[in-house]
Amino acid sequence: PQVIRRQDYRPPDWQVPEVALDFALDPAATRVKARLEVVRTGAHDRPLVLDGDGLTPLSVTVDGVTINDWRLEDGRLVVPLPGSAHVVETEVELAPERNTQLMGLYASGGILCTQCEAEGFRRITFFPDRPDVLSRYRVRMMADKARFPVLLANGDPIAHGEAGEGRHWAEWHDPFPKPSYLFALVAGDLAVNRGTFTTMSGREVELGIWVRARDLDRTHHALSALKTSMAWDERTYGREYDLDVFNIVAVDDFNFGAMENKGLNIFNSRYILADPDTATDYDYDAVAAVVAHEYFHNWSGNRVTCRDWFQLSLKEGFTVYRDQSFSADQGSPAVKRIEDVRSLRAAQFPEDAGPLAHPIRPDAYLEISNFYTATIYNKGAEVIRMIATILGPQAFRAGCDLYFERFDGTAATCEDFVASMEEASGKDLAQFRRWYSQAGTPRVAATLTHEGGRAELRLAQRVPPTPGQEHKEPMVLPLKLRLFGAETGRPLGDEQLILMTDSTETITFEGVGERPVLSFNRGFSAPIVVESDRSAADLAFLGRHDDDPFARYEAMQQLMLDALVASVAAGNDSSQDGGHQAVLAAIADTLDDPALDPAFIAEAVLLPSESFIGDQMAVVDPDAIFRAREALRRNIGRELEGRWRAAYDSASAAGPYAYTSAAKGLRRLRTVALGFLMASGAADAGALAFRQFDDADNMTDRQGALGALAGSNAPERVPALDIFYNRYSDNPLVLDKWFSTQALSARDDTLAAVEELARHPDFALANPNRARSLIGAFSVNQRAFHAASGAGYRFVADQLIQLDRINPQTAAKLLPPLGRWRRFDAARAARMRAELERIVKAPGLSRDMFEQASKSLA
């Protein structure tokens, strides 16, 4: 396969200012006529080259005359054109019902829909399918009226009518020039939840959330999140919606979370449908965050789009930063930050330390779909956050205004964004640009010394080598820090923001009368790994006294991590371990602190995940980590049993379900407490969990209890799983939870159970949510996936080879856990490599899988 390189970018030879598409829709055979007004750009004599993937032209005309001198080259349609402006028309036929890749035009549960980002439009019609070709679209759809009563496309509806033989048609027009990846249409039997939003300039926008009729009651949260997002973007960024309608459609088969098509967002139903009985608090928050994310793209992505796919983080990193800020404003900013950092560490840090590491602006790819990564999205958001921190809120907003105004209606680059920030703030971001070009998570060693009223903080940064980048230059690190007095517990001076730019730096603090304790990288101001020699006592102190909630959480996490890593190293899983005592005391203090928000407590007392513990070790030992973590969990459960019961009881007294921050916090703490009670081995713990499961008036409590039971040997486990299955067997999103809960189980027989589940009649590889709920969940279950026999690797490889034939994109995204073989002992590494080699040799392997697997082997 051909490597695409950022350096090879050339502006398009032809622009296509106007496009008219005519669809005769049918699941088995859809006809697509395209009329392109093409204009030669600059002085050249190159032909018009239109991307195509799996298309055969039924006809090609130029200025109304059929031509025969076109040719197909690697799927592309090459059309020689004499002049500088022509009208080129093509016709093709598609079979949406046979499109299992879910890219282009496909069928999901009887609904016809599209997914074009990144390169799906070329599966619909011949077109220069690149984001720097911006066109105005007019779309006509015709379909059987009974099967497809609703016909939607981008922009505004302009006409509709009857077409005879039970068919009807509709025409839509999008006045905003857009790249082909933002094209969308939907045809189906859909019901709508309508709303309106009056923009800041007084325009009325009609909102619609379109779903199957039976799902209509579960769309209220999404609609309200949409209105909140629209108001937030006006208030926070001064950005107003620009069309008269904004539609969202939910479908069950979707490769990703959602898609920001202009005026017609298409969503994975998982991020739209929510009611208390079927969606957890986590799901509710995710619905609001994804609705906001896609809406925010209207400016950061649609009005200003990307020049080429190497600039993907320009829209994705910025939009994630925007949706994170939005969510923080809706509830607890501290808890949101903790959640975001936890997912960065779970998904992005391992990526940045592994064979698939890449900068947020990559230099080369084989398949762009593989670059919709945690690095582009989440590290990208951290980079924007650092710019905001360095500039301060006013200058950051001025930079955003400048960027939006200057690049409105164009396809821009990351460089354009950074230059706007520099121009608006007067700050030099030359060195900061390394965040765009260097991969790898910087590691910062911080050592604090104190002598005679003066404290010295010595910092040393190092960016580890990553594939293709052996040597790294120092990064700009905005580091928030503060000192606290070890005796008084009081802050010694204000919080400081320092900009570390060199490999080593020393910061001096004068007038420090008592021994200082360092609170460092507060708020996770830079996405780095901190290596500090703070003692357990100092971490416990910060866990009690730090005024920055993130730093307080972080101190607790570090305290637990240090204890766990020491237990693993000592092969010690006994409850007599000294490290346990410091952790127990810190958790007790946290539970006893009446000033703390229950949602924060629930985060602060959670043990680090098995994989995060593994990330701290030179060679990951999954079994030893599991044993050490279980021993600590059991010990925390037993020693603090009274406190867990008290926390459980007070959280249980919250009354009937309400979706409020306070109620969410109590539910979270309740299930965390239940988990520790289960771990304690208390005789009544299984019954307690079953009661929570059975009495629940919401999915958060029910799934929380099911998760606790699913990982246990309690007699209530099987009945609970059966009841859950029977109650929700007609709800695919809840069945996904049934699969993933079992795949994440800590039981010894999880691998066998997962193999069995893969044969369950409700398991379907063709549905990405279902595939992810089993294979994706299982491969992050560290101990089960890394079973020494290699059976976990074999299972995942078998599934991925099958899935690749159906849906390469989804398969390729599930491969990375197999690629982390360098982190494990020689025997496991050999088994992982053997599976990767088997995948690479699989007949007919996709480009997507080839790229992921071959890079993982290199």
Active site residues: 294
**Cβ of residue 494: shortest distance to ligand HT7, in angstroms?**
38
Closest CB to ligand HT7 among residues 120, 732: 120
Question: For binding to Zn ion (CB under 5 A), which residues are involved?
Answer: 316, 319
- Shortest CA distance to 246 belongs to which of 274, 276, 218, 204? 204
Could you tell me where the DSSP H helices lie in 68-209?
A: none
Residue 810 is a binding residue for ligand HT7 (CB under 6 A)? no
Residue 767 is a binding residue for ligand HT7 (CB under 6 A)? no
**Cβ of residue 131: shortest distance to ligand HT7, in angstroms?**
11
Q: Quote the CA–CA distance of 31 and 11 in Å, as a whole number.
A: 31
313: tokens are 């983080």
Closest CB to ligand HT7 among residues 122, 664: 122
- Shortest CA distance to 369 belongs to which of 309, 319, 320, 314? 309
Part in contact with ligand HT7 (CB under 6 A); list of ranges 256-264, 347-355, 498-506, 601-609: 256-264
Closest CB to ligand HT7 among residues 376, 605: 376
Binding mask 655-674 for ligand HT7 (x = CB under 6 A): --------------------
Closest CB to ligand HT7 among residues 36, 288: 288
Helix (H) or strand (E) holding 245: strand 245-251
* Cβ–Cβ under 8 Å, residues 251 and 109: yes
Among 255, 324, 425, 635, interactor with ligand HT7 by CB under 6 A:
255
603 binds, among ligand HT7, Zn ion, none (CB under 5 to 8 A by kind): none
773 binds, among Zn ion, ligand HT7, none (CB under 5 to 8 A by kind): none
Residue 182 is a binding residue for ligand HT7 (CB under 6 A)? no
247 binds, among ligand HT7, Zn ion, none (CB under 5 to 8 A by kind): none
Closest CB to ligand HT7 among residues 132, 701: 132
Closest CB to Zn ion among residues 181, 365: 181
Report the alpha-carbon angle 575-580-582, nearest 5. 150
852: tokens are 């992921």
Closest CB to ligand HT7 among residues 15, 114: 114
Q: Quote the CA–CA distance of 204 and 95 in Å, as a whole number.
A: 38
300 binds, among ligand HT7, Zn ion, none (CB under 5 to 8 A by kind): none
Among 22, 53, 117, 233, interactor with ligand HT7 by CB under 6 A:
117
Residue 316 is a binding residue for ligand HT7 (CB under 6 A)? yes
Q: Quote the CA–CA distance of 630 and 745 in Å, as a whole number.
A: 13
Residue 848 is a binding residue for ligand HT7 (CB under 6 A)? no
Closest CB to ligand HT7 among residues 381, 457: 381
* Cβ–Cβ under 8 Å, residues 84 and 43: no
**Cβ of residue 192: shortest distance to ligand HT7, in angstroms?**
22
Residue 294 is a binding residue for ligand HT7 (CB under 6 A)? yes
Residue nearest ligand HT7, Cβ-based: 256
Among 253, 260, 573, 603, interactor with ligand HT7 by CB under 6 A:
260
- Shortest CA distance to 31 belongs to which of 77, 95, 87? 95
**Cβ of residue 259: shortest distance to Zn ion, in angstroms?**
8
CA atoms within a 13 Å half-sphere pointing along the CA-CB vector of 157 = 15
**SS3 at position 825:** coil
Hey, which residues does 456 pair with through a beta bridge?
Answer: 449, 508
Q: What are phi and psi of 238, to 5 degrees?
A: 65, 25
Q: Which of residues 94-113 bind ligand HT7 (CB under 6 A)?
A: none
* Cβ–Cβ under 8 Å, residues 353 and 442: no
34 binds, among ligand HT7, Zn ion, none (CB under 5 to 8 A by kind): none
CA atoms within a 13 Å half-sphere pointing along the CA-CB vector of 278 = 24
Q: Quote the CA–CA distance of 334 and 671 in Å, as a whole number.
A: 20
Residue 741 is a binding residue for ligand HT7 (CB under 6 A)? no
Q: Quote the CA–CA distance of 746 and 723 in Å, as a whole number.
A: 21
Residue 674: partners with Cβ closer than 8 Å, 6 or more residues away: 648, 685, 688, 689, 692, 704, 705, 708
* Cβ–Cβ under 8 Å, residues 663 and 657: yes
**Cβ of residue 248: shortest distance to ligand HT7, in angstroms?**
12
Among 15, 30, 90, 115, interactor with ligand HT7 by CB under 6 A:
115
Among 106, 241, 256, 676, interactor with ligand HT7 by CB under 6 A:
256
Closest CB to ligand HT7 among residues 94, 335: 94
Closest CB to ligand HT7 among residues 239, 293: 293
CA atoms within a 13 Å half-sphere pointing along the CA-CB vector of 723 = 17
Contacts 24+ apart (CB under 8 A), 611-615: 611/346, 611/350, 611/780, 611/782, 612/345, 612/346, 612/561, 613/561, 613/564, 613/565, 613/568, 614/782, 614/823, 615/345, 615/349, 615/350, 615/353
Closest CB to ligand HT7 among residues 256, 724: 256
Residue 293 is a binding residue for ligand HT7 (CB under 6 A)? yes
Residue 252 is a binding residue for ligand HT7 (CB under 6 A)? no
Q: Quote the CA–CA distance of 516 and 490 in Å, as a whole number.
A: 10
**Cβ of residue 505: shortest distance to ligand HT7, in angstroms?**
37
**Cβ of residue 297: shortest distance to Zn ion, in angstroms?**
6
Residue 259 is a binding residue for ligand HT7 (CB under 6 A)? yes
> What distances in angstroms separate CA 189 from CA 119, 145, 163, 186, 432, one per listed residue?
27, 9, 18, 10, 51
HEC profile of 538-572: HHHHHHHHCCCHHHHHHHHHHHHHHHHHHHHHCCC
Residue 372 is a binding residue for ligand HT7 (CB under 6 A)? yes
> What distances in angstroms separate CA 274 from CA 162, 437, 738, one per listed residue?
35, 40, 17
**Cβ of residue 476: shortest distance to ligand HT7, in angstroms?**
27
**Cβ of residue 115: shortest distance to ligand HT7, in angstroms?**
5
Among 809, 846, 852, 856, interactor with ligand HT7 by CB under 6 A:
809
> What distances in angstroms separate CA 147 from CA 199, 214, 230, one per listed residue?
35, 16, 33
Q: Quote the CA–CA distance of 787 and 783 in Å, as a whole number.
A: 6
Q: Which of residues 23-62 bind ligand HT7 (CB under 6 A)?
A: none
255 binds, among ligand HT7, Zn ion, none (CB under 5 to 8 A by kind): ligand HT7
Helix (H) or strand (E) holding 627: helix 622-639
Closest CB to Zn ion among residues 292, 705: 292
**Cβ of residue 297: shortest distance to ligand HT7, in angstroms?**
6
**Cβ of residue 319: shortest distance to ligand HT7, in angstroms?**
7
Q: Quote the CA–CA distance of 249 and 211 in Å, as a whole number.
A: 6
Q: What are phi and psi of 658, to 5 degrees?
A: -145, 145
**Cβ of residue 315: shortest distance to ligand HT7, in angstroms?**
7
| Site size toward ligand HT7, by CB under 6 A | 15
> What distances in angstroms separate CA 635 from CA 359, 389, 425, 589, 638, one per listed residue?
42, 41, 53, 16, 5
Residue 118 is a binding residue for ligand HT7 (CB under 6 A)? yes
Q: DSSP E strands: which ranges in 687-800?
A: none
**Cβ of residue 828: shortest distance to ligand HT7, in angstroms?**
31
What is the secondary structure of 311-361 as a DSSP string?
GHHHHHHHHHHHHHHHHHHHS-HHHHHHHHHHHIIIIIHHHHTSTT---SS
Closest CB to ligand HT7 among residues 219, 369: 369
Residue 376 is a binding residue for ligand HT7 (CB under 6 A)? no
Part in contact with ligand HT7 (CB under 6 A); list of ranges 20-28, 255-263, 635-643, 668-676: 255-263
Report the interface residues with ligand HT7, using CB under 6 A: 115, 117-118, 255-256, 258-260, 293-294, 297, 316, 369, 372, 809
